[in-house]
Amino acid sequence: MTIKPSVENGPDPQWCKSSHSTDDGPACVEVAAIPGTVLVRDSKNPQGPRLSFEPGAWTSFLSYTTER
């Protein structure tokens, strides 16, 4: 995992909000996939920092979290 400003080429990434997020709750996470990278951001601060994952690392992270 890296924490860095993302650079997207082409159209804006298509962000998807977590099904666990609510419009009024504190836990608002959005994810977008661009070629070779999965981006994660706080939906309340869309211009703020983003996490950037390689696809394999993202898959491992999801596998880990769904086992819990």
Question: Is residue 8 over pLDDT 70?
Answer: no
Q: Could you tell me which residue, 9 or 66, shows the higher pLDDT? A: 66
- Predicted confidence at residue 28, as pLDDT, reads 82
pTM: predicted TM-score of the whole model, two decimal places: 0.71
> Residue ranges per domain, the chain?
31-68
More confident position, 35 or 7? 35
Query: Backbone phi, then psi, for 28, in 5-degree steps?
Result: -120, 105
Question: What does the pLDDT read at residue 39?
Answer: 95
Q: Residue 27: what residue type?
A: A
36 near 54, Cβ under 8 Å?
Answer: yes
- pLDDT tens for 19-62 read 776 666 666 889 999 999 999 998 888 889 999 999 999 999 99
2 burial type by CB count under 10 A (0-12 exposed, 13-18 middle, 19+ buried): exposed
